[in-house]
């Protein structure tokens, strides 16, 4: 795993308490509803699979409503800049990769991986040279994924990066999976905090056919978040999920496997969703099993031979359902006891959005 720390530029109208602040990459304030819709800041997010950005590549991605450029420099280090030239805002992603910097296609201004202008070829010695005026994010790579700390304002402090335990344990073998869904990220969170859908939506799947179709749930606090779990069934279906709040928010869950699925017992999942914009999401899953030696080889062979396709089919059931939900599907619902987890995660995110909106308004952290 590699980590690179950078500072965010081009985010604040003015620094200091009592001054209004802009959200990094937006040049404006966002209210609580906009923050909730496009994504809460001041946390690490998975951005894109590492394998999709080779050395010398420049890739444009939209995340949290902002266009970003990912480029891997000549040393292999990933860089993440706002995809906007500091001169007149042309997308840097259509420019040229110069090893440790990129050159804008429009007038040739060169920006390095920290967002500093290193050359203005049309006017050497121009005052823009040497200034760090393009937003660049702190990035880290691990579990075949590029992660970035997405700051609220340019004064935000980058927090430490830590992979979820299940992805940072040599006894656990994982496969990563990436998808983009035309569905707001909040629907993803609601869906994963709703284990009961496993017994219905995924009833015909290879792994979620067992157990009762009725249950009672409870919330149990943990030192990193909370469990939402069935009180009367475990080890038969999608019976529990843990919402974890560490350097990033993620869910951790297990689904039992039949013996025919090979060694390693239950199948673990780490899930995360990163808003692309208010209507679309980048969805990251890691499918895991606790296996070593020959069992690891069997799991990795079976996953590629048969299980991956089955997992895709299950994920497609989620995607199709969530993409079919109306834009106001979470208004005027009639929730019942199974929806305690959904209600809880919504409260967590609503509180975060209000807090971040207040920081933007009064400038106090
Ligand atoms: S807009 Fe990029 S160099 Fe002018
Ligand atoms: Fe599901």
d(CA 168, CA 140): 14
Each residue's pLDDT tens digit, 97-127: 999 999 999 999 999 999 999 999 999 999 9
100 near 116, Cβ under 8 Å?
no
In the predicted structure, residue 365 carries a pLDDT above the cut 90: no
Helix (H/G/I), strand (E/B), else coil: 119: strand
Write out residues with Cβ below 6 Å of ligand 1: 85, 87-88, 90, 104, 106-109
Each residue's pLDDT tens digit, 238-276: 888 999 999 999 999 998 887 788 888 888 999 999 999
Band of pLDDT at residue 53, cut at 50, 70 and 90: very high
**For position 12, what pLDDT does the model report?**
44
In this structure, which residue's CA is closest to atom 1 in ligand 1? 88
285 near 177, Cβ under 8 Å?
yes
Helix (H/G/I), strand (E/B), else coil: 182: coil
**For position 15, what pLDDT does the model report?**
43
Burial 299-333 (b: 16+ CB within 10 A, else e): bbebbeeebeeebeebbebbbeebeeeeeeeeeee
In the predicted structure, residue 165 carries a pLDDT above the cut 60: yes
Q: Which ligand is nearest to the CA of 93?
A: 1
Mean pLDDT on 58-75: 97
In this structure, which residue's CA is closest to atom 4 in ligand 1? 107
Each residue's pLDDT tens digit, 304-341: 999 999 999 999 999 999 999 999 999 999 999 999 99
How much of the chain exceeds pLDDT 70, in percent?
94
Q: Which two tokens stand for residue 206?
A: 């290879």
Mean pLDDT on 29-54: 97
Neighbours of 231 (CB within 10 A): 11
For ligand 1, the distance from its centroid to the CA atom of residue 199, given in whole angstroms, is 54
In the predicted structure, residue 297 carries a pLDDT above the cut 60: yes
Mean pLDDT on 166-171: 95
**For position 19, what pLDDT does the model report?**
65
Q: In what order do the strands lie in the sheet with 110-112?
A: 96-97, 101-103, 110-112, 117-119
Matching residue, tokens 């080779």? 54
- As a whole number, the mean pLDDT across the chain is 92
In this structure, which residue's CA is closest to atom 3 in ligand 1? 107
**For position 363, what pLDDT does the model report?**
63
Atom of ligand 1 nearest to the CA of 122: 3
């Amino acid at each position: 795993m590699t980590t690179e720390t950078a500072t965010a530029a081009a985010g604040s109208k003015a620094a200091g308490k009592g001054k209004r602040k802009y959200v990094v990459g937006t040049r404006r304030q966002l209210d609580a509803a906009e923050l909730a819709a496009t994504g809460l800041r001041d946390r690490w997010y998975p951005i894109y699979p590492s394998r999709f950005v080779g050395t010398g590549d420049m890739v444009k991605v939209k995340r949290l409503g902002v266009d970003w450029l990912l480029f891997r420099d000549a040393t292999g280090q990933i860089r993440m800049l706002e995809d906007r030239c500091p001169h007149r805002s042309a997308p840097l992603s259509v420019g040229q990769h110069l090893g440790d910097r990129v050159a804008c296609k429009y007038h040739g201004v060169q920006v390095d991986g920290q967002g500093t202008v290193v050359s203005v070829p049309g006017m050497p010695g121009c005052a823009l040279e040497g200034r760090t005026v393009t937003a660049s994010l702190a990035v880290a790579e691990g579990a075949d994924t590029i992660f970035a700390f997405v700051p609220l304002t340019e004064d935000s402090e980058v927090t430490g990066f830590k992979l979820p335990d299940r992805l940072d344990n040599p006894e656990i073998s994982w496969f990563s999976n990436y998808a983009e869904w035309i569905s707001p990220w909040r629907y993803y969170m609601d869906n994963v905090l709703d284990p009961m859908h496993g017994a219905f939506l995924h009833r015909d799947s290879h792994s979620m056919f067992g157990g009762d179709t009725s249950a009672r749930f409870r919330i149990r606090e943990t030192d990193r978040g909370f469990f939402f779990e069935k009180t009367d069934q475990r080890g038969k279906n999608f019976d529990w999920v843990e919402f974890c709040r560490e350097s990033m928010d993620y869910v951790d869950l297990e689904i039992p496997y039949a013996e025919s699925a090979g060694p390693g017992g239950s199948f673990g999942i780490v899930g995360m969703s990163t808003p692309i914009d208010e209507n679309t999401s980048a969805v990251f899953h890691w499918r895991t099993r606790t296996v070593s030696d020959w069992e690891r080889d069997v799991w990795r062979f079976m996953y590629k031979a048969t299980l991956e396709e089955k997992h895709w089919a299950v994920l497609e059931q989620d995607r199709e359902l969530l993409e079919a939900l109306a834009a106001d599907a979470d208004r005027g619902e009639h929730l019942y006891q199974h929806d305690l987890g959904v209600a809880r995660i919504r409260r967590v995110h609503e509180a975060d959005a209000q807090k971040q909106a207040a920081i933007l308004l009064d400038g106090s952290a």
